[in-house]
Amino acid sequence: MYAIAMIQSSRAIPAVCALSIRLMFCCLALGVALAQEGATRNDWPYHGGTQYAWRYSGLNQINTSNVKNLVPAWMFQTGDYENGLQSTPIVLDGVLYLGTSRDQIFALDAATGKLIWQYNYPPGTGGQGKGVAVGAGKVFMGTHDDYVVALDQKTGKEAWKTAMDDATQCGCRIISAPLFLKDKVVVGNAGGDGAFRGYLTALDANTGRVAWRFYTIPGPGERGHETWKGDSWKFGGGATWMTGSFDPALNLVYWGVGNAAGDVYAGDRFVGERPDGANLYSASVVAVDGDTGKLRWYYQEVPKDVWDYDAAYECVLVDREVRGQLRKLLLHVNKNGYLFVLDRTNGQFLGAYPISDNHNFAAGITEDGKWVNRLEPVEDRMTFICPSPSGGKSWNENAFSPRTGYIYTPGLELCSNYIARKQEPQEGRGFSAGNWDHVPPHDGSARSHLDAWDPVTGKRIWSYPYKYFLLASILATGGDLIFTGNPEGEFFALDARNGNKLWDFQTGAGHRGSAITYSVNGRQYIATPTGWGSIVGRIMLEVFPDAKNVRNGSTLIVFALPQGAR
């Protein structure tokens, strides 16, 4: 048996700790400052709440004692029903900005839902837009045909439009919300399951000109190029299809990188085990300089990925004590269902633990981050492996609460029968190099759960089970509440400390987006997108034929306490 690598925080021993009163007060002040950096208050200015991606607000007008009184305050229907509403709204100065799957943008009065302006991008198919970014007086959006568009924040008029690539050639697009930092907007790209070379791009927020580009698959002469066989790097995948994070003090942009391509068969890209990883920088977390895009560090979570185990998900930046030392941490869940804990100043591996119950792709992970006894797909032969390519967690995002110190993350229990197959890449075309179906785990039916974890020790504090898949992001608040929604249309609140269910509301459509909270004129609101969609959403219906109450839609529903009841 191999133990899971864990982190243990040390316990202070008063007789040994000869700290002065001044030092203790300094540490307390530092802790308060750090807690405030990751928390939102009246606004929700970034995709993750703040650039630290906590998805946490310090607002506490709505709390465990009165959440049962929540009622709808207003609703807004977008009319865009393709793939539901997978978005994260942005709120600044009383205005709510909402992007839809097919690249429409609405500016709404955040207190009433009244339309201020609307922008309609030329329609296309296959849209899965997850939101917008706001900064420098503009609203930024990536599009289904691989452009970044900037609109005037007050009027919705187009300010500039920049092509990232030739979408008809590369088969790429943008589905994630951009990340605004200082004078730039950074955007990733989707298309990693095709014959494509991934990248991350920063644009000048005022002009739309490319400020820098970082390729996730290094070319000739670049560090890591030697980890690719022959010309396989040209079509190596490594998509950056979710939104990253930013630490202004370190000036580092953190981004998760997707799977290598072809997904399942590695014979044409793998050059042998290397101490620095295989098929870099696929299935990695990368940290790049915010001004130049130069790589500062990387950590590859899955060398030689042959399971479609993306590392593309959100990077949560927190500061916690580890072994008696305050460390700047990055918490990151891989699609393989493991949560990684890294030092965000240098990428040092500090620990990892599973957040899903079924994971036979490896026997475990060592204290220095090496996978033990990997179970890999076999060419032209079926192999049962957990988790499935849909993930031990999908892209719906975690939340972190500084009040509890817990990270709240959804987990999926679903496996697949993999078959690897040799495949020649064709630029811009699908490049899975194999196939799979989705099947229940051996320990019972497919299912999901929402869990509270101590991110330092890896201890699960509580677990909320659900019979289908929980695929909406998590919201944590200063009222010690956790909000999320399920595919049957129920939007609900849990007690952040024990997981007890305190409130629910039937919205009439499945939940796949990201709820937020904000305040206008002293009144706190909870806003949730509704409308079922996405690839994993369709897979859920295949796995659960009895899930007949899952409905599509595209409505933002906003809740508040009744007037006078606060």
Q: Which residues belong to the active site?
A: 308
Range 163-172 contact pairs with CB under 8 angstroms and sequence separation of 24 or more: 164/189, 164/201, 165/189, 168/428, 169/427, 169/428, 170/146, 170/194, 170/196, 170/427, 170/428, 171/195, 171/196, 171/427, 171/428, 171/429, 172/146, 172/196, 172/239, 172/428
SS3 109: strand
Residue whose entry in the numeric block shows the structure tokens 């809740």: 559
Closest by CA to 282, choosing from 301, 295, 268, 267, is 301
Q: Cβ atoms within 10 A of the Cβ of 120, count?
A: 13
CA distance 136 to 134: 7
Closest by CA to 174, choosing from 121, 253, 219, 95, is 121
CA distance 470 to 190: 23
DSSP 408-459: EEEEEE-EEEEEE------BTSB--SEEEEEE--TTSS-EEEEEEE-TTT--
Q: Do you find a cis peptide bond into 298, omega within 30 degrees of 0? A: no
DSSP 9-32: PPPP-TTT----HHHHHHHHHHHH
CA distance 409 to 471: 11
Cα atoms in the Cβ-side hemisphere of radius 13 Å centred on 239: 27
